[in-house]
Amino acid sequence: MFVLIVGAGRVGSSVARNMLAEGHEVSCLDEDPESHARLEIGLDKPWEDLGGHFTVGTALELDALMAAGIERADVFVASTDGDNTNIIIAQLAKRRFNVPKVIVRILDPYRAKWYAEQGLNTICPTRVAIDMLEHEIRDTAERGTSGAPPAGAVDHEDADL
Amino acid sequence: MTERQYIIIVGAGKVGWNLARELIDKGNEVTVIESNRERYLTVEQELEHNVQYGDASELWVLERAGISRADMVIAVTGDDEDNMLICQVAKEKYLVSRIIARVNNPRNREHFDLLGIKPVVSATDLILRLIEHEVPEYGLVHLLDLPEQRLEIIEMELPANSRAAGTRVGDLSMPEGSLLISVLREGTGFVPNAETVLQSGDEILAVLDPRVEEDLTAYFGPDGSASS
């Protein structure tokens, strides 16, 4: 599959590397040229040599999205650090470019919920954090204050770089 | 406006602040939302309870401002993404019947269209339009554009060598789908009748289907043999 990831921050770059390793064609668009270095963390060859694509550009510019290959994307991931940008480009990908699968990261849980109801495939890390924290507290309340790590806590070795 | 409306303005920059003043003067109920603390404190000295501090791209901020009873939401921040999404949720989530969005970067205009945000106001476009109005060489001024309804009203000055000059209105053969509605001559406008004879320098107003605009301008334009 051709996967286009807009926003190669910690989340976007990790997903990009892992998808490339799994044999997918991966293209990243980021406005910061330095993000290219983040893509190569832990790799023994340059990103391009491994078959990855990287485009510097602003996500809202159609030219940049097209240069990054949006017209042939099977999956579109909106993972910039701005909720507003993500929500808009996800709708562009869906309505204008008819990308079959569009996934959008929205940090604001309230808006994530509403846009999910409108048919956007949303991932809300804040919601996940809230649920995990609440789970831990409830778990502690039920079991007393014993120190066993709760299910779902992040193992350090799996943590994103 | 005859009826008192509840209007939410997002962004207390020069545009938002002055809009608020005017709309309050006209007797409307207005709430301005501003996300910059310093700017909020400045504007609050004048607008007092009519301005609220907060980021209107957060839904609870809009709800606190009473968006569900708003008659109109005007998004005039300096950020197109904010303006787009605030208008989108105002319209689709809170069912606000009238929205107006400011476009800062004209290249973003098509994004507003795609999200169904209209009408939009773009300072760049307004200035372009003023230039069209002030520079007669440009020839054609759009007074009203209703692209979806396939209707527009244009104003056009008949050039010195217009092939329509000297023609009775009754003898005009304007393109199908266009209609001459008014003539401005020496500062006075009138509705022509069949006997009216057009003159060079007349400004004509026509209503037409945008698809025949080129035919129409060619029809009233300079005689082909006389111009470059």
Look at residue B1 and tell me whether its pLDDT is greater than 50: no
Burial A82-116 (b: 16+ CB within 10 A, else e): bbbbbbbbbbbbbeebebeebbbbbbbbebbebbe
Mean pLDDT of chain B: 89
Residue of chain B whose alpha carbon sits nearest to that of A108 = B58
pLDDT of the residue at B21: 95
In A, minimum Cα distance to B81 occurs at: A84
**pTM for the model:** 0.73
**What tens digit of pLDDT does each residue of A55-108 get?**
999 999 999 999 999 999 999 999 999 999 999 999 999 999 999 999 999 999
Same domain? For B146 and B200 the reply is yes
Stretch 36-65 of chain A: residues touching chain B, C-beta under 8 Å? 60-62
Of the listed ranges A30-39, A148-157, B7-16, B19-28, the least confidently predicted one is: A148-157
CB contact under 8 A, B114 and A96: yes
| Chain B residues in contact with A108 (beta carbon < 8 A) | 57-59
Provide the shortest C-alpha distance from residue B59 to chain A (in Å).
Answer: 7
CB distance from B63 to chain A under 8 Å?
no
Report residue A10 as tokens: 């910690």
One domain, residues A45 and A78:
yes
Domain, as residue range, for B141? 135-220
Q: Do B26 and B113 share a domain, yes or no?
A: yes
pLDDT for A148 equals: 59
| A39-70 confidence digits (pLDDT tens) | 999 999 999 999 999 999 999 999 999 999 99
Q: What percent of chain B has pLDDT over 70?
A: 93
**Structurally, how many domains does chain A consist of?**
2
Sign for the CA dihedral angle at B42, B47, B52, B54 comes to negative
Total domains in chain B come to 2
Specify if B228 maps to a domain: no
CATH code at position A44: 3.40.50.720
The parent domain of residue A144 ranges over: 125-161
pLDDT digits (tens, 9 = 90+) for A138-161: 999 988 765 556 566 665 555 555
B107, A61: Cβ pair inside 8 Å?
yes
- B-chain residues near A97 (CB < 8 A): none
| Together in a domain, A32 and A103 | yes
Report the pLDDT value the prediction gives residue B226, as an integer from 0 to 100: 41
Residues A131 and A94 in one domain: no
Hey, what are B217's tokens?
A: 């301008």
- Do B111 and A118 count as a contact with CB atoms less than 8 A apart? no
Give the end of a domain, one of B63, B98, B125.
B125
pLDDT over 50 (residue B228): no
Q: Which residues of A touch B110 (CB under 8 A)?
A: 62
Looking at the fold, whether A29 and A67 belong to one and the same domain comes out as yes
Residue-wise over B161-190: b if at least 16 C-beta within 10 A, else e?
Answer: ebbbbebebeebebbebbebeebebeeeee
Highest mean pLDDT among B37-51, B132-146, B150-164, B199-213: B37-51
Report the CATH number that the domain containing residue B39 is assigned in CATH. 3.40.50.720
Is A110–B59 a contact, with Cβ atoms under 8 angstroms apart? yes
Do A130 and A85 fall into the same domain? no
In a domain, B104, yes or no: yes
Check residue B17 and give its pLDDT: 95
CB–CB contact A87 B85 (8 Å): yes
Are the beta carbons of B87 and B75 closer than 8 angstroms?
yes
Edge-first strand order for the sheet with A25-30 is A53-56, A25-30, A2-6, A75-78, A101-105, A121-123
Question: Which amino acid is present at B47?
Answer: L
Give domain status of residue B19, yes or no.
yes
Question: Measured between CA atoms, how close is A114 to chain B, in angstroms?
Answer: 8
DSSP at A84: H
Residues B136-188: tens digit of each pLDDT: 555 677 888 888 888 999 888 888 888 888 999 999 999 999 999 999 998 88
What does the pLDDT look like over B113-125, one tens digit per residue? 999 898 888 888 7
Q: Residue B100 falls within a domain, yes or no?
A: yes
CA atoms within 13 A on the CB side of B64: 15
Q: Is the pLDDT of residue B83 over 50?
A: yes
pLDDT at B103 over 80: yes
What is the chain B residue with the closest CA to A82? B81
Confidence bin at B3 (pLDDT 50/70/90): confident
A15: tokens are: 């997903």
Last residue of a domain, one of B82, B101, B125: B125
* A61: chain B residues, CB-CB within 8 Å: 107
CA distance B81 to chain A (A): 6
Q: Are residues A98 and A147 in the same domain?
A: no
Task: Give the tens place of pLDDT for each residue, A115-125.
Answer: 999 999 999 99
Contact assignment for A108 to B85 by CB distance below 8 Å: no
